[in-house]
Amino acid sequence: MLAGDPAKRISFNRCIRNGDLVIVYERHDSMKAVTVAEGSVLQNRFGVFKYSDWIGKPFGSKVFSNKGGFVYLLAPTPELWTLVLSHRTQILYIADISFVVMYLEIVPGCLVLESGTGSGSLTTSLARAVAPAGHVHTFDFHEQRAASARDDFQRTGLSNLVRVGVRDIQGQGFPDDFAGLADAVFLDLPQPWLAIPSAAKMLKQDGTLCSFSPCIEQVQRSCETLRTSFTDIRTFEVLLRTYEVGEGKMERLQENGKGSNGSLPCKRRQCSDGGYVLSSNISSVVAKPCGEARGHTGYLTFARLKCLS
């Protein structure tokens, strides 16, 4: 994504270099992150791919194996990284992540505190949002998870935007060095209410906080604690519905110009599965909700630090 120079987004015109991280796309549900190593190969069910064939090709290229099989070479954007990263914990996905970045008002230059780091899924997008001059300080009390996240940020070229600390944030709070400096704090912890007083201490005036919790009981307890120092407290559940839109079967009209059920062919018709059919004499475009929609992930509670005066 940001390999080499974290200040620059990878442009789709940018060509693949030796050492780049590339997302190898087989199908929408089969992708893998690999590091290009000249002189070596990638072997999968489609055959053997020589990395040297990839070097100099733009991201997005289709490349062929020795057997004529093919894959696409995609740039490791945070969106794709979230889909391929190693899931060491539950992670945040694109719908929640987008909402978090928007509602926490994270822009380039922000200083953001986060706990726990987990698999670093959210951290990756936070880093992109604060680049090039901002910083994300993320904490997890699990040493191995923190170390793996550090390795990942190195691999994705984010290590100069993110620092990973090992610390029990529920027990000790965030380090005092950040008091009054954070633009935003994000919590994904089992008992977030224990970390809220420390989060309040870390935030700049008007700073924003978000807490992600899978259960509504955690939300209720957090909101109770938030009321002491925060205002504008709001909780959301983000549900994303993806649609498949493509060519569909045409309805054959009868001689009287009506459809098979006797109805006049309408331009836009809702089907029983919630999808829509747009029909004309020549073609039909079918739009239907994707069957793989993710259900409940968790609740996002946002709040703004109260003004002192």
Q: Contact region for ligand SAM (CB under 6 A) — 3-11, 56-64, 104-112, 141-149? A: 141-149
| Cα(78)–Cα(175) distance, integer angstroms | 28
- Residue type (1 letter), 251: E
Taking the least distance from each CB to ligand SAM, the nearer of 138 and 279 is 138
Q: Which of 26, 79, 105, 168 lies at the binding interface for ligand SAM (CB under 6 A)?
A: 168
- Tokens for 213? 């919790």
Report if residue 78 touches ligand SAM, rule: CB under 6 A.
no
Residue with tokens 């004309």: 280
Q: Contact region for ligand SAM (CB under 6 A) — 83-91, 104-112, 252-260, 295-303? A: 83-91
Report if residue 188 touches ligand SAM, rule: CB under 6 A.
yes
How big is the CA angle at 228 (ends 224 and 232), to the nearest 5 degrees? Answer: 80
Taking the least distance from each CB to ligand SAM, the nearer of 156 and 170 is 170
Q: φ and ψ at 217, to 5 degrees?
A: -65, -35
Work out how close the CB of 232 gets to ligand SAM at its nearest, in angstroms, rounded to a whole number: 23
Residue-wise DSSP of 12-30? TTPBP-TT-EEEEEEETTE
- For 270, half-sphere exposure in the C-beta direction (CA atoms, 13 angstrom radius) is 4
Work out how close the CB of 276 gets to ligand SAM at its nearest, in angstroms, rounded to a whole number: 34
Report if residue 116 touches ligand SAM, rule: CB under 6 A.
yes
- 117-136: which residues touch ligand SAM (CB under 6 A)? 118-122
**Total of residues contacting ligand SAM (CB under 6 A):** 23
Report if residue 110 touches ligand SAM, rule: CB under 6 A.
no
Contact yes or no for 112/106 (Cβ under 8 A): yes
Cis status, amide bond into 207, omega within 30 of 0: no
165: buried, middle or exposed (CB in 10 Å: 19+, 13-18, 0-12)? Answer: middle
- 201-220: which residues touch ligand SAM (CB under 6 A)? none
- Tokens for 102? 């928007």
Q: Which of 90, 160, 229, 235 lies at the binding interface for ligand SAM (CB under 6 A)?
A: 90
Report if residue 190 touches ligand SAM, rule: CB under 6 A.
yes
- Interface residues toward ligand SAM, by CB under 6 A: 89-92, 115-116, 118-122, 139-142, 145, 168-171, 188-190
